[in-house]
Every structure is written in C-alpha cells, then in structure tokens.
A = this chain, B = another copy of it.
Amino acid sequence: MAPTSLRDTVLAAAVDYIADNGPDGLSFRQVAIAAGVSHQAPYHHFSDRRGIFQAIATEGYELFTTAMLESLAAEPDDPTTALLEAYVNFALDHRGHFRVMFRPDLCAIADSPELQRMADGSFDVLVDHVRDLLGPKAPLKDIRARAAAMWSLAHGLSTLLIDGPLEAKIGPVSSRRALIRAVAEQSGLANSPKRH
C-alpha cells in the first residue's frame, strides 16, 4: 500500500461518494470523520470545499486525456467512433470524476490555472482530431461546427446514460459498446473519410 496521505484518502473517499450519490450531498465533515480525523483536518490540504472539487476535476481531466489518447492509438481506422466510445466509457467508469468536471459552479475551472490547463488539454484532443479529420484547409467554421457536434453527441450520451432517462425510454441496453457504435453510425459522424 502506498503511503496514503490524508489528502489522497479524502480525495478517494469523496470520489467514491460522488459516484454513488452525486456531488451535492457531499459533506466535508463526514468525509473527514470517515477518514478518522477531525472535521478540520482536510483544511490543511484543501483551502475550501471547492478545493476538493477542483482536485477531483484536475485528476479527472488527466485521466480523461490519457483515455482519449489511448483510444485514438488503439483504433486509428475509425478515430471518431473510438473517441466517442472513450468519452462515454470514461464518463460511466469514472462517474465520481465526471460528475464534477462539468460543473463549473462546483470546481470553478477559471479560478485554478492548473485545472484550466488540464481541461484545455482534454478538449484539445477532440478539436485536434476534428482538425486532422477535415484537413488543414477546411474552413474554420466547419471545424468548429464538427467539433461541437462530436462533443455534444459524446457529452449528451454520457450524461443521459449517467442520469438515467435514456435507458428508461430507449429500453435496456444490452451492450454499452453496441449502443455507442449504433449511435455513432446513426448520427452520421462515424467513419468520415479523411482528406489529407
């Protein structure tokens, strides 16, 4: 076992809680006493309640970026679908992180330069892929719209799967992978021809 500092313990406990119950009921004090320390101990590692969320989000964006990059490397012939799948898989497998990363009211991305940098890094993976896909001479307007479309599709599918209403209406999903690929195909975004 690594020398788990109090900081790491608190962070892991918070992520677990958020994955199960959402970020809003998270209690600074409960996390502390669950870790066996006083209710004020975490304040030596996080400035605020917000500080915990910023740390979680920073960690999340780091994992997110590597997950997307690995998916691109593993499936170079259909990078759009690979990216979409990596996005959704990350959201579902790291709900604790994902639920915080896109809640600016919780983590206030702009207030933490490091967090801002990590978030930009994640989004750049997506935008770079679109730029690569459409070619360097594509009009900026198209690149932006395509990136927004891909991002929206991935993000919407992720949040709808996490928060429930989709499965309830669309029916039970036998295979996550099959659903993602079917959605990618129906949306017209998958397997777009490269024009290098």
Contact residues of A with B, CB < 8 Å? 21-22, 24-25, 102-106, 109, 119-120, 123, 127, 141-142, 144-149, 151-160, 163-166, 169-171, 179, 182-189
Knowing A105-B21, A169-B120, say if A186 contacts B152 (CB, 8 Å): no
CB atoms of B102 and A159 under 8 A apart: yes
Q: Are A160 and B165 in contact (CB under 8 A)?
A: no
In the assembled complex, how far is the CB of residue A193 from the closest CB belonging to chain B, in whole angstroms?
13
Closest 6 CB pairs of A and B: A188-B188, A156-B156, A152-B156, A145-B182, A155-B156, A152-B157
Q: B152 and A152: CB pair below 8 A? A: yes
Contact partner, A144, options B25, B159, B171, Cβ 8 Å? B171
Could you tell me if B22 and A145 are in contact, using CB atoms closer than 8 angstroms?
Answer: no
Instruction: Give every chain B residue within 8 A of A186 (Cβ-Cβ).
Output: 142, 145-146, 148-149, 189
B160/A155 in contact, CB under 8 A: yes
Oligomer: number of copies: 2
A179–B145 CB distance below 8 A: yes
23 residue pairs from A and B, CB less than 8 Å apart:
A24-B24, A103-B163, A104-B165, A120-B169, A123-B165, A123-B169, A127-B169, A141-B182, A142-B186, A144-B171, A145-B186, A148-B170, A148-B186, A149-B153, A149-B157, A152-B152, A152-B155, A152-B156, A152-B187, A154-B156, A156-B156, A187-B187, A188-B188
Report the Cα distance A171→B147, complex, angstroms: 11
Hey, which chain B residues are within 8 Å of A163, CB to CB? 102-104
Q: Which of A24, A127, A142 counts the most B-chain CB atoms under 10 A from its CB?
A: A24
